[in-house]
Chain A
């Protein structure tokens, strides 16, 4: 069974930094692209960032480009999102999501999310 377990969320002041983690199990981690998708309270879904299976290819939404960095450690089956220069509009539940085999950007498994609140 595929499991994705996010952690690292919390309350941070505007301009601050935070690193999210997503521990994966139940599949061969090193062979799948992964993404972060966020959901502001009471709002819809927003794709944030994606990383290729080997970690060399990274992609970002314009709203976070230059402030967030996605990475992965295939030896630890863990996905990361380093967030800096945080803004109030980054407040959201952050999900990690796994790509469907052979179909980039189609998310067949999601974690339960970790909440990030940016407030003074």
Chain B
């Protein structure tokens, strides 16, 4: 099983500041890496895929990078609606054994 490790567990940032979230895979997942955003009481929402492609509806202040085992999600200028929990997920396995990181809570 590929273990996904996110850091930090909690990130405290002020609106307007930059946030950098990290995700590490225990073995290479190429660029088969997604990020999801989850707000309280809501289902997760696909934010980023292929490590660096934004999903529909997310603005350009969200960017992703990385390949292999090291990945980063950057939010360039935090808005109030960005405070949420962010999960990375690898979808590189075949047969399927998809795994998520434990999440990073982005708080004000």
Contacts and interface: CB of A to CB of B under 8 A. Distances in A.
Interface of A: 35, 37, 44-47, 50, 59, 61-62, 95, 100, 103-108, 110-113
B49 interface: yes
Nearest to B55: A108
Nearest to B94: A104
Interface residues of B, number: 26
Nearest to A50: B96
Interface of B: 1, 32, 34, 36, 38, 42-46, 49, 55, 87, 89, 91, 93-103
Given A45-B100, A110-B44, 7 more contacts: A44-B102, A45-B87, A47-B97, A47-B98, A47-B99, A61-B97, A105-B98
A62 to B, nearest CB: 7
Nearest to B91: A105
A89 B49 CA distance: 30
A61 B99 CA distance: 9
Contacts of A106: 34, 46, 49, 91
Contacts of A107: 34, 36, 44, 46, 89
Nearest to A6: B43
A111 B49 contact: no
